[in-house]
Structure 1
């Protein structure tokens, strides 16, 4: 059962094997049927354009069975999110005078499993099942903390965007009417890193681009790749990969 906790440049030219080919990504994918007659894993395999690297990482990390057989909610990071974290790792490798990572398999499966588990939660939850979050008003709207399948605590909430009515005069801001929290609603998955001391807790946010895809074994939400690097806090992932040993 899901547990809810209430409050609280050299390396860049290397062609990485985690991406099978150069891709052009588009944000607007149109309107699709939310239901999918298959499992979460089968959906990801079918949509290889966005998820071929993700599928390979899932299998390398040993998490395929969960996404194939268990009732879970998965916030899926598209392939560009992995390209960005590998680039960050390679910048760290270069600073240490070490060889660049050219295959994601060079990073231990245990590291991939730990960080990929941050995106997978027990149970089936859609946008309507989460509470409001506003990072500018956290005293009032802070979402909720949830434990992932690997017992990692993450914050999940719904952003209530504002609606703006310009009274039919595009470009003229003088007559704009802003309706607070009356615009479209958007899921957001967040990692809260406690720096301690006077630095406090920093939020690393991953907004959702497409929500409420409904395979047979749970719910699938696809993250906005433009706004997210796999692992949320790149230094933390790079440090874990280094400590586990990079082949």
Structure 2
């Protein structure tokens, strides 16, 4: 019942997140709030266990807690909802291919957690204003920009300028991040939108992803193949 309630509310979070970053303010669930958080990125995640308790566990298992505590970073924070979806569907793949399933977060090797968590972490503290415009219907003119994550995964980051009363680009701005599976196909992205942007912590900036970001790590198939290889090597 608790999980059902939790993820039902996360769906509401996804819907209300469409108002995020309006006029460059800080919004959470469409509620205006203080953008400054006294503490580190990890402290912020710990302060929001409803959304991030599983993410915090992954940060620790990946051995990246010190990075999100001591280094200056920008973190595009996925919610626990995306981890639930990933594990559930990955387990279906594992079962169908004759492998053991993931019963706890500890069943996933450290290097795999780091590989996928690292795609959300970037050097430096960047706010919405620091990213270029992107228009997914007109990428030739507004392509955003390719950035390399902490462990050098290419990602596209840009700001959508929405329309208002039929007038293009004058509406609210929404930060987006796109996973690039193949750098030779630079527009074949898996895109996630930010629900709450510009959360300023002692060691960087947090941008919380909308719950429509369905799979932690962006690419469920690649994660599943990595887990099959890990279980095969361990004899599971």
Using the size of structure 1 for normalisation, the TM-score is: 0.81
Distance 2:77 2:93 in 1: 26
Q: Name the larger-Rg structure.
A: 1
Runs (5+) with no aligned partner, structure 1: 1-14, 165-177
Q: Give the match for residue 46 of structure 1.
A: 47
Deviations 1:99-138 (A, max 9, x none): 3322121111100101100000000000000001112111
Tell me the matched-pair count.
Answer: 214
Between the aligned partners of 2:68 and 2:180, the Cα distance in structure 1 is: 24
Superposed CA deviations along residues 149-194 of structure 1, whole A, max 9, x for unmatched, are 1111111100111112xxxxxxxxxxxxx11111110000101122
Q: Which residue of the partner structure matches residue 109 of structure 2?
A: 108
State the 1:76 CA deviation. 0.2
Note if contact 1:194-1:201 (Cα within 8 Å) is conserved in structure 2: no
Aligned to 1:234: 220
Q: Deviations over 1:185-236 (max 9, x none)?
A: 000010112296xx88511001000000000101000001123311112101
- Counterpart of 2:179 in structure 1 is 191
Partner of 1:74: 75
Cα distance in 2 between the residues matched to 1:157 and 1:129: 9
Deviation at 1:94, TM superposition (A): 2.1
Relative to the length of structure 2, the TM-score reads 0.85
Pairs within 5 Å for 1:90-239? 90-164=91-165, 178-194=166-182, 201-239=187-225
Q: Give the Cα–Cα distance (whole angstroms) in 2 for the partners of residues 226 and 146 of structure 1.
A: 22
Indicate how the Cα distance of structure 1 residues 219 and 200 shifts in structure 2: closer, same or farther if over 3 A, else same.
Answer: closer
- The whole-number CA distance in structure 1 between the counterparts of 2:143 and 2:107 is 38
Higher helix proportion: 2
Unaligned runs of 5+ in 2: 17-28
Q: Which moved more, 1:94-103 or 1:55-64?
A: 94-103
Residue 188 of structure 1 aligns to a residue whose secondary structure is strand
Would the aligned equivalents of 2:192 and 2:212 in 1 still touch at CA under 8 Å? no
Indicate conservation of the 8 Å contact 1:209/1:222, yes or no. Answer: yes
Q: Report if aligned partners of 1:162, 1:182 keep a CA contact under 8 Å in 2.
A: yes
1: CA distance, partners of 2:183 / 2:201? 38
Identify the residue that residue 8 of structure 1 maps to in structure 2. Answer: none
